Amino acid sequence: MRILSLNGWGGRLGEEMVGYVGDADPDVLCLQEVTNTPEATSAWLVYRDGGGELPQRANLFAEVAEALPGHQAFFCPAARGPLYDGDLMLQSEWGLATFVRRSLPVVGQLQDFIHGAFSADGFGTHPRSRNGHAVRLHDYATDKTTVVVHLHGLRELDGKGDTPARGAQAAKLIELIGRIRHRDDGLVVCGDFNVLPESRMLAELRGIGLAELVTQRGFTDTRTSFYRKTPRFADYMLVSDNVDVRSFELVAQPEVSDHRALLLEIG
């Protein structure tokens, strides 16, 4: 089973990113920062915040789903807020998307908030609402059941250090995992955590028996050349000790976001 985790960056490199995930064709794609604007007639919209403007792909979720026709597609909105097509304001959903190859039965799934709650009338102030999505999958080839969980961790305006909100987020994530994982299930937790390697959040996940692969394998950068700041850690992949890790890669090329893709193969 090949599991790919990527922050989609709102589709800023949408065409390149959609092409990459279609070619990579993972069994499970965990995608963060995904847009869903069904009423849009333009491919591109604009996010406005504090006087700045950022281009956003209008319907990144639908485009990726079209590139992976052999997958079930799940969209998990965290909030709905305004994007703009010129002077026209459209309400756009923003959140997580998970794509699972149809030959892998989804025998359980759970979506819930690990910070805040769904915001239907605006993206809100920082730290904004965050959710997690877990799928419980059975692999007929190996006769193993694995839970795959991904999240987009809190963005705090003062950086990636530990905060009470991040501590509460970790506790809620672990509680979410406990609600879906059965005793002998393998467990993979991935995504854009928005924390540093020494964070309390990663320590608590290690405390439930997970190994963090990014730093364990000696990687020092989860960002691409589109990201100009430091520190350069944000994304992580953790596995339980009963997961047979065949390979793990931080994809350096192609660059399809300001985050690198994390690619895990398990047996």
Condensed to tens digits (0 to 9), the pLDDT of residues 8-34 reads 999 999 999 999 999 999 999 999 999
Beta-carbon contacts of residue 262 (< 8 Å; ≥ 6 apart): 4, 5, 6, 190, 214, 222, 235, 236, 237, 248, 249, 250, 251
**pLDDT at site 190:** 98
Confidence tier at 196 by pLDDT (50, 70, 90): very high
Condensed to tens digits (0 to 9), the pLDDT of residues 118-173 reads 999 999 888 999 999 999 999 999 999 999 999 999 999 889 999 999 999 999 99
Confidence tier at 51 by pLDDT (50, 70, 90): confident
**Helix or strand (DSSP H, E) at 16:** helix 14-24
Residue 261 dihedral angles phi and psi, to the nearest 5° = -75, 145
Is a pLDDT exceeding 80 seen at residue 216?
A: yes
**pLDDT at site 49:** 85
Question: Are 176 and 132 in contact, with CB atoms under 8 Å apart?
Answer: yes
Arch. (CATH architecture) of 2-266: 4-Layer Sandwich (3.60)
- How do the domains of the chain map onto residue ranges? 2-266
